[in-house]
Each structure stands twice: as structure tokens, then as C-alpha cells.
Copies of this chain bind each other. A is one copy, B any other.
Amino acid sequence: MPPLDATALDRIFRTARTYRAWNGEPVADATLHALYELIKWGPTSGNCCPARIVFVKSREAKERLRPALDAGNVAQTMAAPATAIVAYDLEFYEKLPTLVPHRDARSDFVGKPALARSTAVQSGTLQGAYLIVAARALGLDCGPMGGFDPARVDAEFFPDGKVRSNFLCNLGYGDPAKLHPRAPRLAFEEVCRIE
């Protein structure tokens, strides 16, 4: 098949930027549902689908998030129409009977917390990247962030102790006038080799 057209490649990778300022347009709940309907198809290890996502939209929920944010991330997050808490379920395997109906995949993980954790981190992070790309594909702009206190977010949003936050991602419609020049990237030869 031919590559997607330049508009699509630009949108999801080449001209996409990390935004810290927003144009004020809200993000509809229907858009967040449409976003998940894309994310869900991305591949995970053995179809384990460990990501769990809280979309923080209301003023009340934003105020619960605020004390966990690094100082430099407060203003952009409070202003964003939605902030996704991208997390993973350490007990994702309890849903494997639904996700992998043809065999007993659950017992691969029960009583193996180190394997469950590394699987949840790896596939949950893949799903976090699918969220970023899918949001851009839907016309949203993203502001992913690692600068927050995950233990505080977990205590506030995942009090049962089974779900751990991975990163945050502001979602909205960005203000390109507030972008800084783009940071450099590495050349093919510094990252890749063909053998």
C-alpha cells in the first residue's frame, strides 16, 4: 500500500508539536470516546490492554490534580480542556478471560507480580503513545508531561492501589503562537543500523 498522504504524516508526526497553551475551545466527551475507540485497537503484549485512563475535565477534578503537579506544569494543566491521566492496571490479567477467550492467559500472571508489572508498564506505555498519536489524528493537540508526583495522583485518583499513573497528557486545541522553536533530533546513523 502507498504511504498515507502528506497531511496525515504531518499531522501525526512531522509537524505535530507538544503544546503548553490552548486556544480556549473545549474538548467534547464524545471526542474522548472517539479517542478511546482508536486507542483500543493498538497492539499490546498478548492483547493484555493494561492502560487505564482518567480524563480530568471538571474544575473540581483539576483541583484534585493540582497539588500533584510540578510547579512548571500547573498553569498549562489547569488551562487545558482535558488532562488524561495515563495509567496501567497491575491486575490487568483479571480481564484476560474477556480479552483472550481461547485460552487461560490469566494464569500466566496470577502470583507473578514482577512479570505483571513489567508487562503492564510496557504495554501500558505503548497504549500511552497510541493515545498521543490518536489524539492528533482526531485533530486534538497534546501536551504530554512527566513532571508530577505519581504517588499523589494514585492516592487521589486510584485509591484501590491496583492502578499506577504513568504520565499525564493535556488535550485540547493548541495555540501555535506560543510554541518555541523545535528541539533537535538525532540522525538516522546515531539511532539506527541496518544489518
Contacts and interface: CB of A to CB of B under 8 A. Distances in A.
Interface of A: 1-5, 7-9, 11-14, 16, 18, 29, 32-34, 36-43, 45-47, 49, 51-58, 60-61, 95, 98-101, 121-122, 125-130, 132-134, 137-139, 142, 144, 146, 157, 166-167, 173, 183-186, 188, 190-195
A32 B130 contact: no
Nearest to A38: B13
- Copies assembled: 2
A52 B18 contact: no
Most buried by B among A2, A101, A137, A192: A192
A14 B7 CA distance: 19
A172 to B, nearest CB: 12
A36 B121 contact: no
Contacts of A121: 121-122, 125
Contacts of A173: 1
